Amino acid sequence: MIGEPSPKQRESFAIFVEARQAAEDFLKPGVNLSDVARAQNDVFRRYGYGEYTGPKYTRVRGHNLGLHFDENPYILEDVNHIVKEGMVLIAHPNTYLPLAGYMVFGDTLLVTANGCTSLNTAPRKLFQK
């Protein structure tokens, strides 16, 4: 952010943080990527922003990371793909919300035997200047 974030920008950021965390808490071998997307979307639905979880406002809820930074399988509610240990994904709850516009952020995640671990080292906070 340039300057002090508004209350709506802070509220929006908090919702995105919760959605990202929902994906990370759910992600482990054997789960379906459709359910990872649903875990994120359910956060937006809980706050009354369910209409913003569809393709009109949202591209994906994350994607695989391999030879290219944005490749299949995508994390969407209609993608049927079982997560395997060793996969590297980016879970990012990107969407437009009327609170503060379009936001994208998330972490690169390595799927481990019991869940996932972030490969990022940047602090998880709203940066401002």
If you average pLDDT over residues 61-89, what whole number do you get? 85
pLDDT of 69 > 70? The answer is no
Q: 98-120: per-residue pLDDT in tens? A: 999 998 888 899 999 999 999 98
If you average pLDDT over residues 67-71, what whole number do you get? 64
If you average pLDDT over residues 69-79, what whole number do you get? 83
Can you tell me whether residue 70 is helix, strand or coil? coil
Q: 45-59: per-residue pLDDT in tens? A: 999 999 999 889 988
47: nearest Cα among 114, 112, 104, 93: 93
Surface-to-core class of residue 41, CB atoms within 10 Å of its CB (0-12 exposed, 13-18 middle, 19+ buried): buried
| CATH class of the domain whose range is 7-118 | alpha beta
Say what the pLDDT of residue 107 is: 86
